[in-house]
């Protein structure tokens, strides 16, 4: 049960990173730093997606182990 909760906490962390990256894209700064802001925001979104994928893999692994096969 603790591992399942861990998978959901990891997924929530990924969603928070995606939201933070999207918010950074939405509220980007001055024109001179725009490209840097885009790179940081896109990096945060990609990191969030990777964390979400890790959580999904952990959840599926736990489901397979719970079924015994």
For the chain, the structural domain boundaries read: 2-64
DSSP state of 13: H
Q: What pLDDT, on the 0 to 100 scale, is given for residue 55?
A: 87
Q: What pLDDT, on the 0 to 100 scale, is given for residue 63?
A: 82
The angle at the Cα of 29, spanning 52 to 12, to the nearest 5 degrees, equals 15
Q: What pLDDT, on the 0 to 100 scale, is given for residue 29?
A: 58
Q: What pLDDT, on the 0 to 100 scale, is given for residue 11?
A: 85
Q: What pLDDT, on the 0 to 100 scale, is given for residue 69?
A: 58
For residue 48, give the nearest of 13, 1, 9 by alpha carbon.
13
pTM: 0.69
The parts of the chain modelled with pLDDT lower than 70 are 1, 28-33, 69
């Amino acid at each position: 049960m603790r591992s399942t909760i861990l998978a959901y906490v990891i997924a929530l962390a990924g969603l928070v990173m995606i939201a933070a990256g999207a918010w950074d894209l939405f509220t980007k700064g001055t024109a001179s730093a725009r490209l840097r802001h885009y790179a940081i925001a896109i990096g945060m979104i990609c990191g969030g997606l990777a964390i979400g994928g890790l959580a999904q893999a952990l959840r599926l692994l736990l489901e397979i182990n719970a079924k015994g096969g």
